[in-house]
Structure 1
Amino acid sequence: MTDELTHFNARGQAHMVDVGDKAETHRVAIASGLIRMQPTTLRLILEGGHKKGDVLGIARIAGIMAAKKTAELIPLCHPLPLTHLSVDFTPDEAASLIRAEARAETRGQTGVEMEALCAVQTALLTIYDMCKAVDRGMQIDQVRLEQKSGGKSGEWNRA
């Protein structure tokens, strides 16, 4: 891990990091986040009673689509050929929330952390969008990188 911000050149100007000399390796990143809601909202989602359709199915597709467009959304992010992207949801009825987890993979010269994070955030925003008519107080929390592997910096896991 470096203690320097890599997206700035010697003059302090923003630039895209040159990854041309980096070795291609299998890169994996897992990100997660959650959305808190009213128990009735969660029940509506889980029972499939939402008039807009399958909330989690649509949120999954939104997350996958977002990961594929990460370089268009984050200005200095490299466009990457994703070899795998999954978005999974775990409802917690006792806490009245849904946890989202995204796993992004590529074989390349730079990591897929941003793609995994973008997938999680967009999936959670999609749940909010689809359910805001019944619960405007939903809250998105704890969007974070859980682990990454590959590349020069190797393995990293959230403690």
Structure 2
Amino acid sequence: MELDYEDQASYTLAITAHDNGIPQKSDTTYVEILILDANDNAPRFLRDRYQGSVFEDVPLSTSVLQLSATDRDSGLNGRLLYTFQGGDDGDGDFYIEPTSGVIRTLRKLDRENVAVYSLRAFAVDRGSPPLKASVDIQVTVLDINDNPPVFEKDESCTR
């Protein structure tokens, strides 16, 4: 039988000893066996993909969206940290709060430069070795009226 902490965390066994006397006598004691958790479950995001939007003129550190993942393991094996890796943070335009999973703006956004960001975040447990899961995120930058109209040519009319 394979033991799995997530299915049952402990077992209680009743052990009875009998002698061969006449009359026969016995005694019973109980033993509790605690199962230790192994880091055998990877984190799982609650959604297959996350989408958010933000106006291009928001202040720095504005919350865009919040990721959420779970891990069936207990203790450190089930405690999660959220992170971006490499250029998956929109080249530094966003950051993620490690414990809450909230994605925030790190720099001023400009829809005319980047209208849609494709990001990738990870949920990493604190087990040894750590297990992780990834999720794709799409952030749409919403336009504001921040560019005045400009004539293509500045020609003057003479009569």
Q: TM-score, normalised by structure 2?
A: 0.32
- Larger helix proportion, structure 1 or 2? 1
Max Rg structure:
2
Report which structure shows greater RCO (CA 8 Å, sep ≥6).
Answer: 1
